């Protein structure tokens, strides 16, 4: 399970390199509390994600690579929902042009 989640987080990290930067924020939360909440959401995804569920459109054949992508997207969405339930908001961070 940890390998799958690592792939999801890596996918998110690589996507961040191609565009704007994002950060989870919650007023009044220090770094230790954020890390505790983030780890709780990672654990939630690890515990609750069903790798055997058929993610993706039901109306057509889905290749193995498409299925893997749909699973990565669902795991990322589960993580985002968990963070939002804990009161965090994903915001765009302004970056200076290089």
What is the residue extent of each domain of the chain?
Answer: 2-93
What phi and psi, each to the nearest 5 degrees, are found at residue 23?
Answer: -150, 140
With vertex at residue 43, the alpha carbon angle to CA 41 and CA 46, rounded to the nearest 5 degrees, is: 115
Whether the model pTM is above 0.75: no
47 band by pLDDT with thresholds 50, 70 and 90:
very high
pLDDT in tens, 60-96: 787 888 888 999 999 999 999 999 999 999 999 887 6
The span from the CA of 64 to the CA of 75, in Å, is 16
pLDDT at 57: 74
Mean pLDDT (the chain, rounded): 83
Q: How far apart are CA 77 and CA 32, in angstroms?
A: 23
């Amino acid at each position: 399970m940890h390998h799958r989640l690592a792939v999801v987080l890596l996918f998110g990290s690589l996507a961040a390199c191609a565009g704007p930067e994002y950060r989870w924020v919650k007023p009044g939360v220090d770094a230790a509390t954020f890390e505790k909440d983030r780890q709780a959401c990672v654990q939630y995804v690890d515990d609750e994600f069903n790798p055997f569920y058929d993610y993706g459109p039901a109306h057509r054949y889905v290749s193995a690579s498409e299925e893997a992508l749909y699973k990565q997207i669902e795991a990322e969405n589960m993580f985002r929902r968990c963070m939002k339930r804990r009161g965090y908001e994903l915001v765009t961070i302004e970056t200076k042009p290089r």
